[in-house]
Amino acid sequence: MDDEKSGSSLKQQAYFTYSWKICNLKEQAKNLNTGKCFYSPDFWVPFHRGDIKYFGEDKSTRKNCWRLKMFPNGDNKDRESYMSTFLEAVQTTYEKSNNISIRHQRFALILKTGNCSGGLKDKFTPSTLTNYHVIKNASFSYKKGHDWGFGKFYPLNKILIDNGKSSEVNIIVDVQFFLDEDIETTNVCYYEEYFSNEKFSDVEFILDSGDRIKAHRIILSSKSPYFKAMFEGEWIESKLQVIPIKNVEFDTFRRILYHFYSGKFKEEIDLKQAIDLFKLAVMLDVISLQNFALRKLVDMINLENWEEVLDFGLETDELVVITGVFNMLACNWEGVVNQEILTELEKRCDSKYWVDLMEMVKAVNW
């Protein structure tokens, strides 16, 4: 199915990105006529944490399968001068056994060029060719050939210059996956003006650092099951006016309270803060903040911190983080992998995750 909404971008951060590397596009365009396509390998996209309540904790049910397809000379005669690119849903065993016949997803497609060979720095240095192509509300069925994407994804002659006589052209197609609109933000009241405001406050928190912050029990109870249980139950804290918060950085705690009052996220965050924020958000049972912290973690993965991030992902069993690390490693495989790294990876990953990693490496380096 074609959707020509392009040239705009989603303000929301993608929670997962898959990169499909296509080396020597010229050869593909030469061998495939209009209406003929080729496919990416199937790839798995983990659910965000908000979906766990629907699909359970079983790892096998916590990810969806997808694939991209490209018509280098257009999917029909009207678009033969364009590359046509589409996303297809691949039905999983879980979906089939539970009679799930449709899947909803918001996503964006981005085209980049780069160099497929050389060392780490030269291996693939992408430069965006187009603005985002965005599809905000796509409903995928599992019927053969059903897809969503862009018939006029990009003019082929703008890539294959001089009628294809130019040198080998390598591209990346990124597909970014976005969360559905957060239902928490619909018809919900926020009270930003009362954040860190003593007016009407009825509780105060003190951190290990000695920093204090005042708040309002009714607001915290409405945003967090943890605080609701604290203030309404038989907890000792329900009777305290000053409640100690142990083993939490003041900035992390303040960031969460700010979200409760405003519905907003403070974007400036480093790796340690993202990990701390996630752990505290899990304790407070705040799904929106858990998702935010995980997205920031995935955005920050690089060649210097991947081991720390992978350890965190394995410790917490967060597939979004694990897959994000694998995707980064796969995209830089030729430049970063040596026997020492392979040994470390095998130590950290069980056999199932090792297979997942090898599939990703094959997908972006085939």
What is the tens place of the pLDDT at every residue in 193-206?
A: 888 888 888 999 99
pLDDT one-digit tens code per residue, 121-171: 334 444 445 445 677 667 888 877 788 888 888 888 888 765 545 567 788
CA angle centred on 23, ends 21 and 29, rounded to 5°:
110
Per the prediction, the chain carries an average pLDDT of 77
Tell me which of 295 and 69 has the higher pLDDT.
69
Give me the CATH number covering residue 97.
2.60.210.10
Whether 164 and 210 map to the same domain: the answer is no
- Cβ atoms < 10 Å from Cβ of 209: 11
pLDDT at position 107: 87
Give me the CATH number covering residue 253.
3.30.710.10
Question: Is 355 part of a structural domain of the chain?
Answer: yes
Whether 171 and 232 map to the same domain: the answer is no
Tokens of 200: 């009407």
pLDDT at position 316: 85
pLDDT at position 51: 46
Whether 356 and 229 map to the same domain: the answer is no
Give the β-pairing of 127-128 and 43-46: unpaired
Whether 198 and 120 map to the same domain: the answer is no
Burial of residue 182 (number of CB atoms within 10 Å: 0-12, 13-18, 19+):
middle
150, 181, 212 - which closes a domain? 181
On the question of pLDDT at 118 being above 80, the answer is no
On the question of pLDDT at 33 being above 90, the answer is yes
Question: Is 280 part of a structural domain of the chain?
Answer: no
> Residue type for 308, please?
E
- 112 pLDDT tier (thresholds 50, 70, 90): confident
Q: What is the mean pLDDT of residues 172-182?
A: 75
CA 317 to centroid of chain Cα atoms: 15
The C-alpha atoms of residue 282 and residue 250 are separated, in whole angstroms, by 17
Whether 218 and 332 map to the same domain: the answer is no
146, 166, 181 - which closes a domain? 181
On the question of pLDDT at 57 being above 50, the answer is no
Question: Is 283 part of a structural domain of the chain?
Answer: no
pLDDT at position 166: 57
Domain that holds residue 351: 301-365
- 347 pLDDT tier (thresholds 50, 70, 90): confident
Tokens of 2: 């074609």
| 212 φ/ψ sector (left φ>0, alpha ψ -120 to 50, else beta) | beta
Tokens of 115: 């160099």
344: nearest Cα among 314, 299, 323 = 314
Number of structural domains in the chain:
3
The C-alpha atoms of residue 67 and residue 44 are separated, in whole angstroms, by 9
pLDDT one-digit tens code per residue, 236-294: 888 898 999 999 999 999 999 998 888 887 768 889 999 999 999 989 988 878 888 88
Which residues are within 8 A (CB) of 124 and not within 5 positions of it... i.e. 6 or more apart?
21, 114, 115, 116, 170, 172, 331, 332
3-state helix, strand and coil shares in percent for the chain, rounded to the nearest 5: 40, 25, 35
Whether 98 and 197 map to the same domain: the answer is no
Give the β-pairing of 43-46 and 148-155: unpaired
Whether 308 and 233 map to the same domain: the answer is no
Whether 170 and 217 map to the same domain: the answer is no
On the question of pLDDT at 213 being above 80, the answer is yes
Which residues are within 8 A (CB) of 190 and not within 5 positions of it... i.e. 6 or more apart?
261, 262, 263
